[in-house]
Amino acid sequence: MFVITHFSVPFFSYYVSNRYLKTHESNKSLFVNSCFVGLAGLIPDFTDIHISLTARQNSFSHTIWSPALVLILSTIAVLLIKRIPKAFIFWLPFAVLIHLFLDGISGGIKIFYPSHILVGKYFISPLWWGVSDACFLSLLYVTYKKTFNKYPHKAEDYN
């Protein structure tokens, strides 16, 4: 899968679940926190940039140890920095797991690397990855415009 999909699936998982649970986050803080969760979904690709499927399958960042490490780091960060939402202890490692799942269904990963056990295969053809990114990019744009829409204002807003 491509970067937009790896960002968008965790982003919308956080965004929609908080809308559904009716948390008391403002629209802007919900959007910003969703962006942080989306960025966490990119951690495996940021820590080991790869072009080929073989490089991805032989990467430490695409193993079960990656979300475990993110869990430890997010727990420490939440405990030390009070402004970070406590929900990030769950959501940041979950975003990495979503990334691993998406890579698993789009070519497979070696979840216990350096073991040679391959989990997954091409359930989603690489031909559809660009379509997926285009759809998610459109949804991200609409969500952004809905969150930060400044127009139309009422006339009394300018007084």
The per-residue pLDDT for range 125-141, each reduced to its tens digit, is 888 888 988 988 998 88
Residue 26 domain-assigned (yes or no): yes
Residue 101 domain-assigned (yes or no): yes
Domain count within the chain: 1
Average pLDDT, rounded, for the chain = 85
Identify the domain containing residue 44 by its residue range. Answer: 3-146
Residue 156 domain-assigned (yes or no): no
Q: What is the pLDDT of residue 43?
A: 92
pLDDT at position 158 over 70: no
Residue 158 domain-assigned (yes or no): no
Residue 56 domain-assigned (yes or no): yes
Residue 152 domain-assigned (yes or no): no
CA distance 37 to 16: 12
- Widest CA span of the chain, in angstroms? 67
Q: Which of 66-75, 90-99, 114-123, 146-155 has the lowest mean pLDDT?
A: 146-155
Supply the pTM of this predicted model. 0.83
